Amino acid sequence: MPRFLLSLCLILSLAPALHAQTREDALSQAEIEKLRDTNRLPDERVLAFVKFLDERTDTIRTLVSKPRRPGREQDIHDALEQFISIADSLEDNLNEYETRHRDVRKSLPKLLRAIDRWTSTIKSPADDEAYNVSRKLALESIRDLREDTEHLIEDQKTWFAAHPPQKDAEGNVIEQ
């Protein structure tokens, strides 16, 4: 096999691992643990993602509100990149919940309200070449999240109207 093709195969085989590593880098070890703890609790997992994204937008808001300092634009860029990565992970989770008909009806309205907060914060920094592309990608991620969330709200209303969750004698939903 020619050396070029061998190199290309190696790069392509590492691409998923590199992408996953980027997502992992966006989260702290404590945040990763929180996601592991909420793996079987979809509403709590969605709210954990909301909290992580709130923290990234708080970082951006703080950076913008303080006096300019060297490296500030790069810090905004890095926070935006983390935001994008976490938002993409949340979107993946929402898609999975939709496919498996996992009940996330309680967390979706909170997610929609958070999306409005994130949009205004992401738009707030002045234009700068250091982060304009990242800001555009973050706003696209937010737009995709909004569309997915609105669609999921309607899908969940329809699904759970036709398939009400089973409850035990005490009225608690039985996990399926």
- What pLDDT sits at residue 11? 46
| DSSP line for 48-107 | HHHHHHHHHHHHHHHHHHSPP-TTHHHHHHHHHHHHHHHHHHHHHHHHHHHHHT---TTT
pLDDT digits (tens, 9 = 90+) for 45-61: 999 999 999 999 999 99
Instruction: Tell me how many helices (H) and strands (E) the chain has.
Output: 6, 0
Q: What is the pLDDT of residue 176?
A: 56
- Report pLDDT for 171: 64
Domain residue ranges in the chain? 21-160
> Model confidence over 12-39: pLDDT tens digits?
444 443 333 345 589 999 999 999 999 9
Q: What is the pTM of this model?
A: 0.81
